[in-house]
Structure 1
Amino acid sequence: MSNAPGSGEAAPAGAPDAKAAAPVGGKAPAGGKAPAGGKAAAKPGAEAGARTGKDDKDGAGAFPGALKNPLAAQSEAYASGLTYFAQGNTAFIDGSHIRDLQVGTRIVQHFGFGDAGRLGAGPVREEVMALTRATYVPVDEYDDLHAALAERRIIVLRGVSGTGRSTTALHLLDALAGGPVERLDDQRDLHQLGETDLAPGHGYLIEQAGPGLRELHLDRLGRLLRDKDAYCVVVLEADPLRPDNLGGYVWDHTAPRIESMITMHLQQALGDDEDETLLPRIEELAGRPETLRTLGPRPQTSEVCELASLLVLHARGHLSYDEVLNRSGQMIERQVLRWFAPLRDPARGPGHETEIRAGSLRIALAVFSNTPYDVVVEAAEDLTKELLTTSTAAVRHRRPVFSEDRGSRLAALRCRLTDDTVLLNGVPVPTQMVMFEDNRFPMAILTYLWQEHHSVRPALVAWLRRLNEDHREIVWVRAAQALSVLCRLDFPYVLTKLVFPWAVSDKEEERMSAAVVLDLAARDERIRPAVLALVHDWVRHEDDHRRRWTAALAQSRDLGLGNLDRALDNLRIIGTWQEERGGVDDDADDPGIAAWELAAAASWSVASLFAAGAIGPVVATLRRWLEVHRNGLRRLALLSVLQLMNTRPANVWLPGGIVVTPGRERWPLLLDLVDREPALTADIADLVWQTLQGAPAERAALDLIGDWVRAGERDAGCLDVLARFLPELVDSPARAAQLRHLLRTMRHEWIDPLRDDVATRLERACNQAGPAKENIA
């Protein structure tokens, strides 16, 4: 190769030539589509590392496209889904578990509004008002609300359903009005109310006033109320999109403190119990972390009341503590039952499509909780079409354009919007995410639908199939994770209908989905033995390389971590299949998938297990593979090391795996590791050094070290670590010359030449002699 301009040093033997130094994208793996940002898409430019073409026999071309690891692109979507779909066994209560709670001879009423149902128009019953007086826990802003209502005669309470807004409203009206409290018809516009609609000394509750409510309407009604010595509280859903045009009438309502609500309801349930030690004992149980976990992060007031009733039953010997936890945990499932109860009615009234839309949105959020809002709405609309087609013989589906907005969609979902970021080509970009307030809802919804509504299964599976065809990782990965839940519920059905066909598909994305389904389904200990047996058979006895490829990826995450020694041995077999077949060109033997693709898939899984925290076992295994004098095994080991060199902290898929240091998401993972855990430096340096010993890995390894240099150029901290690490690779003057030549070539690149200060610093580092190395192969 000719010298780079002005380099002053000839290229050492084995150094990359000018063509190899320039980025040249390799082709996507055979059989898979490669849409931008999609399942088979490579990371762009310097992030990819694989710059050589298929005809390059010295570098990555020995495995064309092998460094374009699809597991890296999936990591963020996969990790976010683990929050919702990583539980083991699945189960759901049936309707027979829903019953009143009895404490001694007293029936404890679960008092609440919102999702539990609104009061009917007319006078509020005295028993309801009495219970409000006895059990109401003031919210933090209660005194301010009381003063505002006394002054203005009308206020608006805005908040999330289930936080006790209507209870607060009743308590305020009872405290200020001299007469009875009534609920006005919420379908009637406030500007239509006149003097004849109001009675002297009464209190009025209005829930869910129409969207046309304005400050001038409240001013007018306030004057009428003052003339009648009456009071009114309007309850509205929190809606970030609704314009705040109600002036000083609006107050944001938050739920009372959970501990205070529990204590109040305990006192009410215990009544005049003579045992003075009972309340402290129950309060201690109520404050335990395992008790509070059953309520979730944002329980509704009725759920807190139910927990208090359960604790009283336990204190009086009617329930064990485990039964308390079990029944309290079932409140999530009863909420799901209430949500979908309207769809059980076989009648097809005018509100049928509205209920279908609400149900579809809940199902879509179950699959896509903590994803961008638009992803959820788009998926919900597609599911609505599917369900309407299934439930109605002739459907004329029209999507409302302006009748639905974000506030009306999210009002009853028990979810929240948050400002967050998603990674785009490794760079965080802002977006707004929507998620359930309680992480238990996704599993509860999917389990309920599958177990209780058999006729919904075809529509649900068809919808998830279509989602699987989406090129966006956040969509297809979540769809596959949702299918893993269904697989745990009905393993033979999902295995036959989806996993088996996908595992032999010519489309890489379908094989990856099959791997995700098997991996997460195996978290259920009842299913894990069947999945392990299936993988074992595909690895050793199947003639179809596509199943073998799927088996490799199925062991890349949790399934592999749980059986690490077996998984690494399986990956050894898969990745060396060509050599064990006597060097046969498997492209001709199996046109669906090539032998190099099996090695690539095996190396992807090795890198994924390493990133999940299996550092010591993977390093030991790679060293063992390198010590065996078998070309196929050495090639697999070197390719696996190249995958490690190409991995970024942002590609870590397991929250409990390697800890990602904030700000280092785009660093090379190996550099981050040697900086945080210096004891790993020698082992990591030795593995990287092995890739520099000539074909088949040397040129790809130099390309990847070039990517490390670019990362150091962008980040001074990364540059410091790289400058300390490079001497670990220098075992001879020839090695130092090899690395210096790479740096000088990069310094003189036509596009984005390396900064002189960076090149100079790293060239000096290469001149430092490192420890002696021995080629263990």
Structure 2
Amino acid sequence: MNTPQDHQADPDGQGPHPDRAATDPHTPDGTADATTGADATTGADESAGADSETEHAWDSRRDLYRHSPGIMLGHSARIGGSLVGGDQHGVSGGQVTGDVILGGSKVEYHLGGDTEERSGEIPRTEVEALARTFVHPVEKGEDAAAYVGGTAPVDGGPDADLPDEPWQPGSPFALALAGLRAHRVAVLSGPATTGRRAAALMLLRAAGSRSYRALDPALPPGRLAGELREGCGHLVADFVTTAERPLREHHIRALGERLHAADSHLVVVVGPHPVVHGSVSPVPWEPPEPAALLAGHLRHKDLAGRTVDELLALAEVRAVLAHHRPVADTARFAERVAGHARGTVSLAELGAFGHYAAERQVREWFDSADHSLHDKAFLIALATFDEAPYPLTAELSDVLFALLQRIENPGEPARIPVFGTSSAQRVEQALADRYQEPEETEWGPVLQTKVQFRDRLTAITLLREVWTGHPSARPALVAWLRRLADDPRPVVRTRAAATAAVMAEADLPSAMALLIRSWAADRRLRARLAAANALALAHHLGAPHVSRILAEWCVAPDHRLRWTAVRGYALVGDAFPAEALAALTEAVRGLEARGGPARGWANERDELAQSAAALLLAAGQEAAARDDWDTVAGLWGALPPLMRGTTRDFALRATVHACGPTDGPGGTGRPLLLDLFARSDATPGTGGAVLRHALAALWRGVLNDPECSASGLVTLRQWVRGAEDDRGAETALADLLPLLAVSTEDHRRLVYLLENLRSEGDAAPPSVALRLRALVLVSAPRDADARTPA
């Protein structure tokens, strides 16, 4: 063990870590650069540098939770945050006013007559059937039932169950309807999955239309007026407006004149970022809440005597509605809910709808000819970097596109559009949202624009589908993930491991052979850490045999596999702590039987102790949160018996390593081990009392060990200093320190430490040290000399 002066505060503030080596500034995270001749490194060089410079096991665990997608570990349930929309991106939110000239002019020539039919009738029965289930969005706090089922007569007359106009005054629907009545033309904008076409038809119906026609969205803006009919409601769905094909003011005025003359109406449905000039501004359309939408569909179905509220209260229904999904999916889900009410659909089938819908959407993307290879590469990258910064996703999706292009067209170089589709359009095409959120960095939080699929199940579903359903893409995916695993950015490396974990859960043999096994046997620490992260996340996802893999690797002849398994136990061992601690203990015995650490892994003893400390802390915190102190006591009670024989050093090192991590960001806050002691019940016979005695026994072993005592005293000094502003920590130390003063030597050591605890420039110890000294003096052994040793 190092002496106290060897221990400096870590940059992350996690406290002293025995035998922790400094990081080489030329090789971030202590890894060798694969592009700078690393393959020529000899075994001696590896022993001297590559494997001795790594972050602490607890830090690896913290980074794994910080950078993994929330849906994997359950630590993040954020659905959006502050949406980045409106005038925060694009060209003033996509709506352009005034004259904008981009590039050259475009001239259209029409030679001869156009005989193609450019419109078609929409049956009135279809519109009336749609009106029965249509739901108008309402403000929070409004009665959704009052705006469900637009069955009021077209003249807005009274209805027995509905207000005169079944929409909320001031709502987007009301604003669009006012414009439609005044100008005879309205522009409705929104994503394709929000039910905007149904809203457009309801606008035409509310405006008094009794017949309906759909116009060809491929028509140029100037040709729309020529397709209008007398006394009819017209719909142009999915009308594309761009800087080269804008909907200009003269187009809108010409349409208004023609519509007034024909006593007709027109609703133009455009995307969420339209390019429209003129007095008629696009009205953004947002779908109703999923529960209200589902209720609107259920009210007109045979529910076999079940009520809508009863069905909405089902846990399986609430789980599906918790994810924002396309309006059409909610309509399909209503059929299943009604089927369950009639007894034809089980609860399990009902709960599986979310996965079914996500799989259906993913297959549509991969099968679609409208999505280019560049688009599909972006979707895969977004699935990998869900909840991560958008620039990162876009940058690395281009790398994947180049690799996929080599497979699809090996003789043609990848042509990446530098200024192609806007970021807003790419995100919308992926059915995702942009939002702003602070991203943790080594310098502190930084506000970032992030991207997230609206349906939380999409990311994992997409990665499974591309790995198992499209094997031809595997060479590119493997090369891409290997490159990501060697990236200097922690979030990139962690996401590479997370993606490999999804693939391992879907197809363990292939993922192990192509990615994880090769990472685990790699000379570079980054690769081995990627393997450990991947196995930990794969276990959380339900992949089989992870604990067996770790157990076999933990005693493997190859020290690289052993390192991966030992770090893996730090990351996921709290899921099976007794088994993990037994495996680490067996590895310690094997290490001593071999006569010491491997040539390429000088700090093997310390790594084993770090992992034991990390898994015991994590498992103990989780059990304490459940108020299961018997389990906490059982976990930590397994260490004192190991303080005999060849495992003594392992138990003491693990204790010292467990003292550093804290419950606050950047190493601030109360040490986790002291917090466990503070929260435990001291009543004799309880699990808390057993825990306290186990921790006291471990501490006495540390302070009386020639190699560990210096590290233990450094930790005690830090704990006492931290208690100056934490009365709970002071109370815990007041209970702990007397348990450590068993012998005269113990007592003298503690009194000396407290009397001489001074920060730089201070003439006297902090007041908390003097208060604790008084308690230690009172609890002195009968044969102890209370005088301070010279």
Report TM bin, short chain. Answer: 0.7 to 0.9
| Structure 1 residue 233 corresponds to structure 2 residue 220 | no
Per the TM alignment, residue 619 of structure 1 is displaced from its structure 2 partner at its CA by 5.7
Contact kept, 8 Å, 2:225 with 2:254, in 1: the verdict is: no
Quote the Cα distance in structure 2 between the aligned partners of 1:417 and 1:524: 26
1:156–1:383 CA distance, 2 compared to 1 (3 A):
same
| Structure 1 residue 736 corresponds to structure 2 residue 751 | yes
Look up the match of 1:613.
622
Q: Secondary structure at the match of 1:769?
A: helix
Quote the Cα distance in structure 1 between the aligned partners of 2:417 and 2:392: 18
Look up the match of 2:233.
203
Residue type of the partner of 1:334? Answer: R
Look up the match of 1:165.
196
Contact kept, 8 Å, 1:182 with 1:203, in 2: the verdict is: yes
Q: Secondary structure at the match of 1:435?
A: strand
1:269–1:535 CA distance, 2 compared to 1 (3 A):
same
| Structure 1 residue 336 corresponds to structure 2 residue 357 | no
Instruction: Select the residue among 101, 119, 122 that pairs with 1:122.
Output: 119
Contact kept, 8 Å, 1:69 with 1:604, in 2: the verdict is: no
Per the TM alignment, residue 408 of structure 1 is displaced from its structure 2 partner at its CA by 0.9
1:15–1:566 CA distance, 2 compared to 1 (3 A):
closer
1:210–1:248 CA distance, 2 compared to 1 (3 A):
closer
Quote the Cα distance in structure 2 between the aligned partners of 1:566 and 1:592: 24
Paired residues, number: 656
Per the TM alignment, residue 148 of structure 1 is displaced from its structure 2 partner at its CA by 3.3
Look up the match of 2:549.
534
Among all aligned residue pairs of Structure 1 and Structure 2, give the percentage whose two residues are the same amino acid.
Answer: 23
Quote the Cα distance in structure 1 between the aligned partners of 2:22 and 2:404: 32
1:221–1:78 CA distance, 2 compared to 1 (3 A):
farther
Quote the Cα distance in structure 2 between the aligned partners of 1:137 and 1:75: 45
Q: Secondary structure at the match of 1:280?
A: coil
Look up the match of 1:150.
181
Look up the match of 1:60.
none
Residue type of the partner of 1:69? Answer: H
1:320–1:624 CA distance, 2 compared to 1 (3 A):
closer
Per the TM alignment, residue 449 of structure 1 is displaced from its structure 2 partner at its CA by 1.7
Instruction: Select the residue among 65, 77, 80 that pairs with 1:78.
Output: 65
Look up the match of 1:720.
727
Quote the Cα distance in structure 2 between the aligned partners of 1:341 and 1:445: 13
Contact kept, 8 Å, 2:570 with 2:614, in 1: the verdict is: yes
Moved more, 146-155 or 378-387: 146-155
Contact kept, 8 Å, 1:282 with 1:311, in 2: the verdict is: no
1:360–1:205 CA distance, 2 compared to 1 (3 A):
same
Q: Secondary structure at the match of 2:68?
A: helix
Per the TM alignment, residue 32 of structure 1 is displaced from its structure 2 partner at its CA by 9.3
Contact kept, 8 Å, 2:427 with 2:451, in 1: the verdict is: no
The Cα offsets for residues 628-682 of structure 1, whole Å up to 9 and x where unpaired, read as 454652322222222222213368xxxxxxxxxxx99654333554565565694
In the TM superposition, 1:184-333 aligns within 5 A as 184-187=215-218, 190=221, 192=222, 196=226, 198-206=228-236, 207-212=238-243, 213=246, 216=249, 220=253, 223-224=256-257, 225-226=259-260, 228-238=262-272, 249-270=281-302, 278=304, 280-281=306-307, 284-327=310-353, 329-333=355-359
Per the TM alignment, residue 711 of structure 1 is displaced from its structure 2 partner at its CA by 6.0
Unaligned 5+ segments in structure 2 are 33-50, 75-116, 139-170, 683-687, 742-746, 782-790
Quote the Cα distance in structure 1 between the aligned partners of 2:446 and 2:268: 39
Look up the match of 1:134.
132
Residue type of the partner of 2:132? Answer: A
Quote the Cα distance in structure 2 between the aligned partners of 1:433 and 1:619: 42
Contact kept, 8 Å, 2:754 with 2:773, in 1: the verdict is: no
Quote the Cα distance in structure 2 between the aligned partners of 1:704 and 1:29: 15
1:21–1:356 CA distance, 2 compared to 1 (3 A):
closer
Quote the Cα distance in structure 2 between the aligned partners of 1:259 and 1:484: 33
Quote the Cα distance in structure 1 between the aligned partners of 2:780 and 2:183: 84
The Cα offsets for residues 119-170 of structure 1, whole Å up to 9 and x where unpaired, read as x962352154343333322233233432233234333333333111121011
The Cα offsets for residues 378-406 of structure 1, whole Å up to 9 and x where unpaired, read as 22221111111111122332322222322
Quote the Cα distance in structure 2 between the aligned partners of 1:356 and 1:609: 43
Instruction: Select the residue among 760, 769, 776 that pairs with 2:775.
Output: 769
Unaligned 5+ segments in structure 1 are 1-13, 42-62, 88-119, 271-276, 344-350, 652-662, 749-753
| Structure 1 residue 698 corresponds to structure 2 residue 726 | no
The Cα offsets for residues 280-323 of structure 1, whole Å up to 9 and x where unpaired, read as 34663344121232344213221122122223334445444444
Per the TM alignment, residue 376 of structure 1 is displaced from its structure 2 partner at its CA by 1.8
Per the TM alignment, residue 356 of structure 1 is displaced from its structure 2 partner at its CA by 1.4
Quote the Cα distance in structure 1 between the aligned partners of 2:26 and 2:494: 16
Per the TM alignment, residue 769 of structure 1 is displaced from its structure 2 partner at its CA by 2.0
1:499–1:304 CA distance, 2 compared to 1 (3 A):
closer
Instruction: Select the residue among 553, 558, 581 that pairs with 2:567.
Output: 553
Look up the match of 1:361.
378
Quote the Cα distance in structure 1 between the aligned partners of 2:651 and 2:262: 86
1:221–1:280 CA distance, 2 compared to 1 (3 A):
farther
Residue type of the partner of 1:84? Answer: I
| Structure 1 residue 395 corresponds to structure 2 residue 408 | no
Quote the Cα distance in structure 2 between the aligned partners of 1:236 and 1:28: 63
| Structure 1 residue 760 corresponds to structure 2 residue 766 | yes
Look up the match of 1:438.
455
TM-score (norm 1): 0.73
Look up the match of 2:401.
384
Instruction: Select the residue among 404, 417, 421 that pairs with 1:404.
Output: 421
Instruction: Select the residue among 672, 677, 684 that pairs with 1:669.
Output: 672
Look up the match of 1:595.
604
Contact kept, 8 Å, 1:599 with 1:636, in 2: the verdict is: yes
| Structure 1 residue 473 corresponds to structure 2 residue 490 | yes
Moved more, 459-468 or 598-607: 598-607
Contact kept, 8 Å, 1:78 with 1:477, in 2: the verdict is: no
Q: Secondary structure at the match of 2:430?
A: coil
Look up the match of 2:512.
495
| Structure 1 residue 460 corresponds to structure 2 residue 474 | no
Per the TM alignment, residue 577 of structure 1 is displaced from its structure 2 partner at its CA by 4.1
